[in-house]
Chain A
Amino acid sequence: MAILELQNLKKYYATHKAVDDISFSIPEGSIFGLLGPNGAGKTTLLRMITGIFYPDSGEILFEGKKFNPVDDIAKIGYMPEERGLYKKMKIGEQALYLAMLKGMSKRDAMKKIKEWFVKFEMESWWNKKVNDLSKGMGQKLQFVTTVLHDPKLLILDEPFSGLDPVNSNLIKDEIFKLAQKGTTIIFSTHRMEQVEEICNNIVLVNNGKKILDGSVKQVKDEFKEHIFKVGFDKLPGSFSSTAFDIVASNENSYSVKIKDGNKPANVLQEFLNQKASIISFNEVLPSLNEIFIKVAGTKN
């Protein structure tokens, strides 16, 4: 079942169409990538999903029903790209305030805060102010305040921007744990290589329009160019083949493109016929970045 379904969403500004007729749905429990370059309309989309903006037209369904920002917002955790905290407020009080704004009772919020503070080794910070924290500590706190209320849908806009590798990994791990527990997660980023390994479904947007969506595997299969990389102990001499063309060569590998009507086995067979000592053989799939460039290029 889809936890979130967008139908023909439109949001126009005076000067440009930020979101222009976008539809897609997000399966419950998935890790979903919302990808596109800066200015593609990702943040506007997210602001409509979080109820900050109203769409000019179109429909948002949350858990199968028309999205109601006032009630449904408590089930959503949103870490915007422009994020921050009250600098002069004590950390404990701040976490409590943000959790209660999401509708938690004081008692539940305290319990959850303690749990997370222990998990992230932040117990001693309670009475500190954000001003006294390092940047990395602030980022941890920001993440904790986003997930305190156990959102069903967690939306992270450029979550890794400005994160050091240690915190990056820490938060990535927590995201996986949340996903395992059934939380649906939306990743929004322009750095597509970051999410390839994390997401199972993606949607690509550019200039306010959706250019493709589907599971990562589907998308890659659709755009693969039947290129294989063959590694050798010792590189054999170049030869022409009816089964493939060599498109690139390295110190000890060839990249080959299979000709129509041939199979990977034919390629291997031909190399074996040459008595080449093969040590590896694998398909080269296009990166999301490459796919994006290709699709965005043809659509424009």
Chain B
Amino acid sequence: MNKIWLVIKREYLTRVRNRTFILSTILLPLFFIGFIFASAYFSIKSTEKQKVAVSDSNGIFRNSFQNGDLITYEYPSDVNANNFKDKGYSAFLQIPQHYNSGVDSISLISTKQLGIDAEDKIKDQINDAIRNQAFLKNNIDKKVLDSINKLNEDQSYKFRTVVKQGNKTEKSNAALSYGIGYGSGFLIYITLFIYGAAVMRGVMEEKMNRIAEVIISSVRPFQLMMGKILGIAAVGITQLLIWIVLIVLLSSVSTSFISADTLQHAQAINNGMGAAGDSSAAMSFLNAKSTFLSANWALIIPCFLFYFLGGYLFYASLFAAVGSVVNEDPQEAQSLMLPITMPIILSFIIMTTAVGKPDAPISVWASIIPFSSPIVMMGRIPSGNVPVWQLIVSMLSLIAGFILTTMLAAKIYRTGILLYGKKVTFKEMGKWLFRR
């Protein structure tokens, strides 16, 4: 154990002291923040058909919503926020009497995220309905129409979506969970490659420098391999923690760029007491920040660290095995890496679907099978739709998975690391697996 510790320490220190490490640790968060904000703007196209029950206490919206391809509206009298699901509706739109007072809000209640597209369509319908009402009340007149349009743009009502699961009600935001899911899945995808390749290069370096045999006459080959894998894992965690701290710091610094005055103004508008002015940017920033903070970080961050570590451990030993059989020719590494990189890339592709359709069978299965679970599960978690049993099964199978890959890879590693000048085939590696 003591020897593994020595190996871990060496691997960790030689890497953390490296200039490339210091540079990439600082530059990547900047890139990452930009990426999150960019992906938050991407909307998901929902393809599910939605049936929305509308409860309109004024009666003025009745029959004024247009049924679309995907969303249909009905106006049943016996449906409320608690029973809409049982009555066969996917969402419940509640329009209070004083919907335009700026105090009450129109609520869209659903058991699952509806998707940004659906939300926008419903909002458009509300806007159109308001305008139609205005048309009816007034004789249509250019000036009046303009003022009505103006009214529309100002959005003098508030809109909120609520995901209702049992008794728990959370504020939700489809774009946000999409962005976070995509971002964290992508980050795991990238880090798997970065740190997996680091393990492979480290093993190749030891083999090329001909120090491998010197070392394994002091430590068991398994200790050397695990020491390297764990040392690089520690480097990865250090880097991630620095990134998290930097991101928190950067976002609080960016808040202070907006003057306190403007913020107060925006807060006032938010409370429905002021008029819209040039501070709309500040307001949307405030909104963005509060929705960002509304995500379930207490679940997302621990899960992210788990899946980062689990996924890394699952693939790192395989990368080590490849590094151990490669000779001088880097071309060889490329072709041997293919069976490892393929499932990672495939996981990424599945993840891009899973963030939009977290409940689709492919998303569920891919988030449980250890080959793809680290990336795909992180795409699903921010949506809040992952049942606990799926999470547990996924985590347990990932743990079992990396124990298995480590055991298999260790057998290839201990033979490969001492083998020089011979091109190794997959068939031969298969034979090594069964050697004592």
Contact = CB atoms under 8 A, between A and B. Distances in A.
Contacts of A42: none
Contact of B436 (A50, A56, A83): A56
Interface in B207-231: 209-221
A14 interface: yes
A117 interface: no
Contacts of B206: 86
B3 A86 contact: no
A52 interface: yes
**Which of A56, A82, A87 has the largest count of B CB atoms less than 10 A from its CB?**
A82
Interface stretch (A95-103, A229-237, A253-261): A95-103
B14 interface: yes
Range of interface residues on chain B? 20 to 34
Interface in A1-27: 14
Given A82-B420, A97-B10, A101-B3, A87 B209 contact: yes
A101 B220 CA distance: 11
Q: Is the interface of A mostly helix, strand, loop or mixed?
A: loop
Interface stretch (A68-76, A219-227, A243-251, A292-300): A68-76
B221 A52 contact: yes
A83 B210 contact: yes
Contacts, number: 63
Interface string A73-92: 10010111011111111000
Given A54-B436, A83-B211, A101-B3, A89 B14 contact: yes
Contacts of B150: none
19 contacts: A14-B431, A52-B216, A54-B436, A56-B436, A78-B214, A79-B214, A80-B214, A82-B212, A82-B213, A85-B209, A85-B211, A85-B214, A86-B206, A86-B209, A86-B211, A87-B209, A97-B6, A101-B218, A102-B218
A52 B217 contact: yes
In the A-B complex, list the 3 residue pairs whose CB atoms are closest, starting with the nearest. A84-B210, A78-B217, A101-B218
A47 interface: yes
A79 B6 CA distance: 21
A70 B220 contact: yes
Interface string A54-66: 1010000000000
Given A47-B418, A70-B220, A78-B214, 16 more contacts: A50-B217, A73-B217, A73-B218, A82-B210, A84-B211, A84-B214, A85-B211, A86-B209, A88-B14, A98-B218, A100-B6, A101-B215, A101-B218, A101-B219, A102-B218, A145-B214
Interface of B: 2-3, 6-7, 10, 14, 205-206, 209-221, 418, 420, 431, 436
A14 B206 CA distance: 26
Nearest to A155: B217
B214 A83 contact: yes
Contacts of B209: 84-87
Interface centre among B2, B206, B216, B218 (most CB of A within 10 A): B218
Nearest to A89: B14
Interface residues of A, number: 30
Given A70-B220, A97-B10, A52 B213 contact: yes
B432 to A, nearest CB: 10
A82 B418 CA distance: 9
Contacts of B218: 73, 98, 101-102
Query: Taking each of B7, B209, B214, B436, which has the highest tally of chain A beta carbons within 10 Å of its own beta carbon?
Result: B214
B418 A52 contact: yes
Contacts of B6: 97, 100-101
A67 to B, nearest CB: 13
B414 to A, nearest CB: 8
A282 to B, nearest CB: 43
Nearest to A14: B431
Contacts of B14: 88-89
Contacts of A50: 217
Contacts of A47: 418
A88 B10 CA distance: 12
A150 to B, nearest CB: 14
Contacts of B213: 52, 80, 82-83
Nearest to B14: A89
Nearest to B2: A103
Interface in A27-49: 47
Nearest to B414: A52
A70 B220 CA distance: 8
Contacts of A80: 213-214, 217
Contacts of B10: 97
A131 to B, nearest CB: 10
A146 to B, nearest CB: 8
A100 B215 CA distance: 11
Contacts of B436: 54, 56
Q: Taking each of A47, A73, A101, which has the highest tally of chain B beta carbons within 10 Å of its own beta carbon? A: A101
A143 to B, nearest CB: 12
Contacts of B431: 14
Nearest to A99: B218
Nearest to A70: B220
A69 B14 CA distance: 28
B65 to A, nearest CB: 69
